[in-house]
Amino acid sequence: MKIELRNLEVKYKKKIILNDINHTLDDGKHILIGPNGSGKTTLVKCILGMIDYNGKIMTNGVKSISTNLIDVYKLINSDVRDIINIYSDIFSVERENIYSMIKKFRVERILNNRINSISTGESKILGFSIAMNINADLMILDEPFEGIDISRKSIIIKYLNGKKSNYLLITHELDLIDQLNFDGLSFIINGRIFGEFRNVNLKDIYFSKKNTGKILGYVNLGKDEYFITEGNGEIPLTSFRTIEELWGDNDAF
Amino acid sequence: MIMMLFKYILKTLLKNKTVWFWGLLYVTIWLFLGVFVWGNSIDRNYLKYYAGIWFAFDSIISISSISVTLSYSIYYASSSLAYLFRNSSMKPFKYYMENMFSIGTFFVIMGTILELIEIILFSIKFNVIILPGNIILTVILFFISGMIFYSFSMILVIIMNNYLGLKNVGFVSFIPMILSWLLSYSILYIKLPSYVIYSNFITTLTYIFTYSFIEKTPWIILTDPFSPHINVFICTISIIAWLILLMPICIYSLSKIRASSIEEARVS
């Protein structure tokens, strides 16, 4: 499997959402870290073919992509049980497997609720449960931990670590990533992707204003540029709970 | 997966209170006025004709009112459709056909109830049971009308969604209903030019609905017995042509559908 993004650009009312992205996704487990408003969901929608863009997305060996984006599962405004039945039929998936996953998350109560009335966390669990069961070449998870309590987050991590196929997980929450097995790590900031850094240990990644340690790359936060270093640096990535903290008046710098 | 979506779409429609309100209750109020208020002065020799006109007028208004709600359903599903057409075995043709059968079936159910209500109201007022002359034709017409109106709404909403921005989706979804009121009401009292009458599906469907009820060729001005008769054959050809024309445009539009943000529409 290979997905190549070439000069990818998305604008909305003159505002640049994705800015000249060149990135390659191949077999494996990928993590993309980005703050809110950095263009994460727009990137997902581009890869899924849901919105127009400039540039090219070349896919090789990718027939279908599954996702946890809840909008994708709003074919009709019906109850969650119907939605699961419809999508399991469309993707030829055993619906009982999806129900069983919903039960493991202990959110069976949503089955009789309308899809529009469930909470953000519940919709993330629903999207995740369907996406995990679709036999796709790639699974894209957009903020899978959003609105979910810690015990259910652990269940998601357990499922992901047990999954053998390819996925791209996009999140702004850093405190959970070190529990995940992954092959590549990259950052999306202000509509641009930095990375990917392969086979890195999250605990060894640092952000530094000065050129210290082994430089993997850099991120441009608009007003400041930071080196991403391995092994040595000013602030360890794992000291942030969310990527947004990098923008704060960080005394450490 | 054959006709898999059919039952779910039909079930959703049957449970949709907005659809029942605008499709049945709203037009029943008009029918009530037609029978009990404006019906007082009607010549009993023209009673079946009068019932036929009301049946046609109410059916068109009902179907066009529901098409407003259906327009929103396309817009609501845009993200899902954009995703499914590219990542699953669900393709625009299959989706279109399953939708059409669900909606056509729903209109047959609702139309049958509307017919029953009309029969009951007329029998209460005039102590006579007036049945539609050709029930099979009325059933076919409800099915076809649903397909045509829905296809028309679908094309308008997809154009708005993809190319002209979300601000106008609300207005555009009302276009079929506005046109229905204008055209169906006009032919009650005005002789429209032939090219207008035969070139649009609203007037032709109104005439054919009337024809199916009274089993006689309707007058061009529906309430004027001295006006010439309509050409039923040309009306039928026009309806079939619309059905054939809208289908490929709809399937093509669906294949181009892009995800719209529901949040964006809320702020538009």
The more confidently predicted of residues A248 and A139 is: A139
Residues A215 and A108 occupy one common structural domain: no
pLDDT of residue A202: 81
Check B8 against A91: CB less than 8 A apart: no
Residues A99 and A207 occupy one common structural domain: no
Residues A151 and A216 occupy one common structural domain: yes
Which of the 8 DSSP states describes residue A37? T
H or E segment to which residue A58 belongs: strand A54-60
Which residues of chain B does A45 touch, with a Cβ-Cβ cutoff of 8 Å? 259
Task: Render pLDDT for B25-65 as a digit per residue (tens, 0 to 9).
Answer: 999 999 999 999 998 888 888 899 999 999 999 999 999 99
Residues A168 and A217 occupy one common structural domain: yes
CB B131: neighbour CB atoms within 10 A?
12
Output the six-digit token pair for B44.
């009993």
Task: Render pLDDT for A6-46 as a digit per residue (tens, 0 to 9).
Answer: 999 998 877 889 989 999 999 999 999 888 888 999 999 99
| CATH number, residue A37 | 3.40.50.300
Residues A145 and A223 occupy one common structural domain: yes
Check A76 against B90: CB less than 8 A apart: no
Alpha-carbon distance of A215 to A211, in angstroms, equals 7
Nearest to B258 among A51, A65, A69 (CB): A51
Task: Render pLDDT for B142-169 as a digit per residue (tens, 0 to 9).
Answer: 999 999 999 999 999 999 888 876 677 7
Alpha-carbon distance of A128 to A73, in angstroms, equals 11
Residues A171 and A237 occupy one common structural domain: yes
Chain B: nearest CA to A69, how far in angstroms?
Answer: 10
Chain A: nearest CA to B163, how far in angstroms?
Answer: 11
Residues A88 and A42 occupy one common structural domain: no
pLDDT of residue B264: 52
Q: Which residue has the tokens 């024809």?
A: B211
A136 at B interface, C-beta within 8 A:
yes
Closest residue in A to B6 (Cα–Cα): A86
pLDDT of residue B72: 85
Closest residue in B to A92 (Cα–Cα): B1
pLDDT of residue B1: 52
Alpha-carbon distance of A253 to B12, in angstroms, equals 57
Output the six-digit token pair for B196.
């207008």
Q: Which residue has the tokens 């599903």?
A: B77
Residues A214 and A122 occupy one common structural domain: no
Integer-rounded Cα radius of gyration of chain A: 19
User: pTM of the predicted model, to two decimals?
Assistant: 0.89
Chain A: nearest CA to B75, how far in angstroms?
Answer: 10
What is the arithmetic mean of pLDDT over A118-135?
96
pLDDT of residue A247: 66
Residues A153 and A241 occupy one common structural domain: yes
Nearest to A90 among B1, B9, B259 (CB): B1
Q: Which domain holds residue A224?
A: 2-63+137-252
Asked if ipTM goes beyond 0.85, one says: yes
What is each CA distance from A75 to A143, A164, B126, in whole angstroms? 21, 29, 47
Which residues of chain B does A92 touch, with a Cβ-Cβ cutoff of 8 Å? 1, 89
What is the arithmetic mean of pLDDT over B61-85?
92
Check A49 against B79: CB less than 8 A apart: no
Q: How many domains does chain A have?
A: 2
Which residues of chain A does B17 touch, with a Cβ-Cβ cutoff of 8 Å? none
Residues A54 and A154 occupy one common structural domain: yes
